[in-house]
Amino acid sequence: MLKSLALVALMATSTAQAGSFSSSDLPADAQWYVHVNLDVMQSSSTGQVIFAESIGEAFEDIQRDVGIDLSGQIDSVTISGASLPPDQPAILLRGELSLHTQTQIIDLMRQEGDVFIEEQYAGLTYYGFDQDGHRGSHAGEDMLYIAFGIGSTMVSPSEQVVRDYLANGAEPATRYVADPNAMLVLHAEQAMVQGGVDARDVDVPGGWDSEIVSNIDSAALVLADAGGDMLSFDAEIVASTEEHAFYIHNVVQGLLSLKALESGDSNEEIKAFLMNAHVDSQGNLVTMSAMIPLSLLEEVID
């Protein structure tokens, strides 16, 4: 069940923060993140369709499988990590989980594995269990930890991530907004999904795309409700130099044009999306924007 919470976060993980996500909401050591604003998603007709066909289904699976109803209790989900490839992620659930729901989750943890812990740290309680149900000599090899705060819940396979959360008063220990190393976060009205990565210290294996990826310092995207069964997509890439930004711009523009030609007349929506996507570069910044019909996104989800 707690793996399903991670799925919700990937798909995808206080009400006030759900509407004003920024780099200051991320752990100080975050190298990548995905943020899903469930409040916005469920407050628009477009978002409700996406929610029903993705995250809503995960909630239904959790309720059917283990009897825990999370609907209406989670405002936003932020999943982040301090390394790439992803390892030891932090999953922050914003919203008030009822005492009944918390008790259900703890009881489930007791039942799932041979190892269950209940520990105190910084005057607060956290719990852990072997999420794969290992027994005997393998017990405790795949632990998952959880701590409940006021208006938030932290879930992670890293005990230290949960302890840091508790030590900071049940909040992630974050950077200051003005920190020059802060993660790139894009903003949009009615933003539903945001994501980003700091790629400066990522090892890139050799390949045709290594020249592109190895010269990206950071990147971010945002998907928002644009009204009228349309979504807006915006992305930014910060390249290491102006020359690399121009190169990335040309490659992305060329790929979009090529895919548009390959699509032919088989799918007019895909062709229109590819042809109308706007790519630009200025200095070492590459930007991309596009309007996505809800029906096209539904095809991707299905």
* Cα three-residue angle 37-150-33, rounded to 5 degrees: 35
What is the pLDDT tens value at each position of the chain, 302 positions in all?
444 444 444 443 333 333 468 877 788 788 899 999 999 888 888 888 888 877 888 888 888 988 999 888 999 999 998 887 777 888 999 999 999 999 999 999 998 767 899 999 999 999 999 876 555 444 456 889 999 999 999 999 999 989 999 998 888 776 555 555 667 889 888 899 999 999 887 665 655 566 777 889 999 999 999 988 889 999 999 999 999 999 999 999 999 888 888 877 667 778 888 888 999 999 999 999 999 888 887 776 66
Q: Which two tokens stand for residue 155?
A: 């879930």
pTM listed for this prediction: 0.83
Task: Give me 51's structure tokens.
Answer: 């929610």
Sequence letter at residue 7:
L
Answer yes or no: are the C-beta atoms of 20 and 74 closer than 8 Å.
no
CA distances from 45 to 48, 158, 229 (A): 5, 37, 8
Q: Are 198 and 32 in contact (CB under 8 A)?
A: yes
Which residues 6+ apart lie within 8 Å of 225 measured at CB? 40, 44, 46, 47, 190, 192, 231, 232
- The C-alpha atoms of residue 18 and residue 140 are separated, in whole angstroms, by 34
Tokens of 208: 């045709």
Q: Which amino acid is at 102?
A: Q
